[in-house]
Structures are given as structure tokens and as C-alpha cells.
Amino acid sequence: MATDTTPATDPRDFVPGRPVVFRRATVLAVDTGEVVEGGDVLVTGDRVEAVGRRLAVPAGTAEIDAAGGILLPGMVDTHRHMYQTALRGIGADWTLGQYFAFCYLNWGEVFRPRDVHAGNLLAAVEALDAGVTTVLDWSHGLRTPEHADAAVDALRAVPGRHVLAYGNLLGAPWEWATGADFRTFAERRFTPGDDMLGLQLAFDVTGDPAFPERAAFEAARELGLRVTTHAGVWGATDDDSIRLMWEHGFMTPAVTYVHAASLSPDSYRRIADTGGTASVAAESELNAGQGYPPTRRLREHGIPVSLSTDSAMWGSADLFSAMRATLNAARGRAHLAAHERGETVSHHRLRAEDVVRWATLGGARTLGLDSVTGSVTPGRKADLVLVKNDRSPAMSPVVHPYGHIVLQAGRGDVHTVMVDGRVVKYEHALLGGLRDCLAAARAAAAETVEHVRAAMGEKEWRAVREPVLPDGGGSSSPYTYASRDGDDGGEGGDGGGPEV
């Protein structure tokens, strides 16, 4: 193999079919735990060809100078309500009950298909810019086929790896998941085996003893789809939901339990025994109140963990923040418990390497994509992120690479992003059509803000952004799937949550 390379000083060097080599990086393989100092990674086509030092590469290979940087797998977000990015930051001071009241009881239905498209487009570009190459879109705003098409159109427009988790927060899952509209949509927009765009079902289990969600689980099983469900959410979904799934035989390795923060030991054992996975959104859980991030309990029961960002309505929507929040939450609680016993923590059980693994390979496993992505391994798809920033004093020296990713680096340090062998960001700049996507998404999101503001009225708009927190702060479950006016429309019930 020839050793000639052409330095990639111009983004136009990254043309389809041309091999790319990252030179002299600190490479985090993740799957094996190996750290290759001064390592090279060769990409040919859409896959990682080789990992090593001073690799010989084909003549004409484009070279990326990764010296001083950390090369890791593309990060994987297993639970992001992407359409809500169009109202970024509106819920910075919300509790979970206020989120329920806004989305389920009052204003979720004002989102038009174009608003779903705007939020998804902005979120998808944002994810790539922050080194997140795979996102599960927990899309519970799909009230009509037009909303669903808008969501997929936006995901298709951005060269990331996406999974649409189809949901409808204002409808009963046993109705929409078995309806002709959903079946037709799934057949029309998705191709089995497509690892760039997948489909799951997204719905929650109310705890109703009649277990009406059975039909939705049966639909998922018939169609061969995974299920993602908010479980163990304080005041909303509890152990009864897990018990009903268990008793009816719907707890399988194809189910992801989002949050899983307020469950009993029996529920965790059932998840573990059936091979389920968990998606922890620590920043959201700490701020909104779904429950304390359950990483200790998940690890104790051997439940595979992944990380997620939940909603940009109230959170930072990047996995650097998610990793840091997860580590801080676990260590802070361990210290507090030890101090209350008059003891001190002498050794951290949760390591920086653990949370990096959860943000990469753990996410891929949760989505059933660990044979595709999640590690820097020859034969895997080339989803890679180079964290390097020569202008930042915080990016040197790199002494503890896993710790550096979690506690020192941030989204602004993402130098290069590659998805499926395609360079989509280089030298801190989005490439090709992504700049146009970002401009279009920003304009569309601004229009969505004006639409929602007008629909609500100025008084309600200001009240939502500056909430008066209710005494007690309770958040009763809104997952009643009952109409607010008593008909059979399948809209969100009154839930008893706090007023907006």
C-alpha cells in the first residue's frame, strides 16, 4: 500500500470515494478500552479500514492532522424530542408538571407539520455540530400523517444517522399504532435494514389494569419494531407499568426504558432479566424531577445504560453536558450518602470512561446498532468525532483522554465530524449543504416561535416563560389518553398537573 497522502487543507478535498486518514490522534476505541496515543485511523468508503500508528495508506488519501486531539466514535443520543428544539429554552425554569401542562394539556396541539419540520431540522444539524452522529427522535408530536412526513423529511435532509420513534402525545397508542395511517406511513417511508433511518414505536404505559397498551406492543412485535417508553417517571409511570408489561410478556431486549429513575428493585430486576436497556437523561432528571439519575441502580442490576438529552425546551441538548451531568450526579450522591454515614468516598466507582462508553457504544447498543456504530473498530461504519481546538487553552495538555472528554471539552471543541464515511464538519465548520440547512432551520424556528406566541396570546406566552411555581410542585400523570372535553378523540387527559 502506498504511503502518499494529500493534506486536507480545503474541505473540497473530501470527495466521495476518496479515502481519509486521521493522523496522530489520541484514539479511543471504546469497545476494547484501548487508547492509541499518536494513532491513525484510515477510512475507506463508509467504514473504518484500519487503526494503528503510522499507517500506510493508498495514494491520494486525504489527511486530517489530528495531533493534539482526541478521536472517538460518533456520540449516540437515545432520547431527544427533536421537534421541540423549535422552542429552545422556553422551559428553562419548568418542573416536569409544567412541561406536561404545556405539551399535553394546553399547547402541544398548536404545532403544525412545518413546526415539527423546523425543530427536527434544527436539532439534526445541531447534533452533528456537537459530535452526535446518531439520534433517536422521540417524536411524540405526530398527530397526523402530515406531521410524520414532516419529521422524516427533516431527518432525511441532514446526513446524520437517525431513528424516528413514532408517537402521538394526544392520541391513544392502541389506536394510532394499529391504524391504517401509521402502517401506510411505515411502509412508505422506511426500508428494512436501512441503518441511516430506522423506526421505533414511542409510547408510555399508564398503569391501567386493563393494559390497553397491549395492542401497541402487539403492533410493534408484528412489525418487528423496537419500543421506547418513559418508565419510572415520578408521578407519571411507575412499577405498575412495569408489572403489566411483565405479566403480559412484553418486556424483551427490544424495549428501552427512558429515565427509569423511580422504580423498585423488583422492576429493575425485571428489566435486567428480560434484557432491556435504559436511557438516562441526567440533566433533565435533575432539573425537571423525573427522579434521581438511576445509574447506580442500573449498574447494580446489570442493565445496559445509554445517555440522552431529552428536550432542548429546557436542556442543553449536547452529550458533553449529558456525560458531565451523569458523572456529577452519581458522584455527588455517593459523597452525600457517605457523609451522612460519617464516612468518606475513597474511590469513585463510576469512571469517566464509563460515561464516554454510555454516550457512544452504549447508545448504539440501546438502538440495536452496535454492530454498525459506537466504536472505532475496523469494519464498523465510520462515524467519528475529532475533539481538537488549538485555540482553546482547555484542550491541552491531554493527560487523561476519557476524563478530558467528560470534564474539559465541550461542543465548541468538535473539530471534525464524519458520518458513514462522509466528512460533514471540518475545522469547526459545517460543510456543504449543512450551512444552508442551518440557515433554513433558524428561519423556520423563528417563524414557529412567532406562530406559537400568537396562538397562545402575549399574556400566556409570558406566563409560560416565567412560571409561577405551584406549592408542592406535584406532577400528576397526564398519560390518560382521554379527551379533555369528554369525547373519544384520544387527546391528552386533564392529568391534574400544575397550571402553566
Q: What is the pLDDT of residue 482?
A: 44
The predicted-structure confidence for 267-277, as pLDDT tens digits, reads as follows 999 999 999 99
Q: What is the pLDDT of residue 150?
A: 98
Confidence grade of residue 467 (pLDDT, cut at 50, 70, 90): confident
pLDDT at 493 over 90: no
Q: What is the pLDDT of residue 466?
A: 77
- Degrees (nearest 5) of the Cα angle 363, 369, 373? 80
Kindly report the backbone phi and psi dihedral angles of residue 357, in degrees, each rounded to the nearest multiple of 5, phi listed first.
-65, -40
What is the rounded average pLDDT for all residues in the chain?
92
Q: What is the pLDDT of residue 151?
A: 98
> Taking residues 404-424, what's their average pLDDT?
98
pLDDT at 46 over 70: yes
Pairwise pLDDT comparison (465 vs 43), residue with the higher score: 43
> Taking residues 166-182, what's their average pLDDT?
95
Confidence grade of residue 483 (pLDDT, cut at 50, 70, 90): very low
> Taking residues 343-357, what's their average pLDDT?
97
Q: What is the pLDDT of residue 105?
A: 86
Q: What is the pLDDT of residue 486?
A: 35
The predicted-structure confidence for 380-390, as pLDDT tens digits, reads as follows 999 999 999 99
Confidence grade of residue 5 (pLDDT, cut at 50, 70, 90): low
The predicted-structure confidence for 124-143, as pLDDT tens digits, reads as follows 999 999 999 999 999 999 99
DSSP string across 106-171: ISGGG--HHHHHHHHHHHHHHHHHTTEEEEEEEETB--SHHHHHHHHHHHHTS-SEEEEEE-BTTS
pLDDT at 401 over 50: yes
Distance CA 469, CA 96 (A): 11
Kindly report the backbone phi and psi dihedral angles of residue 365, in degrees, each rounded to the nearest multiple of 5, phi listed first.
-65, -40
> Taking residues 440-444, what's their average pLDDT?
98
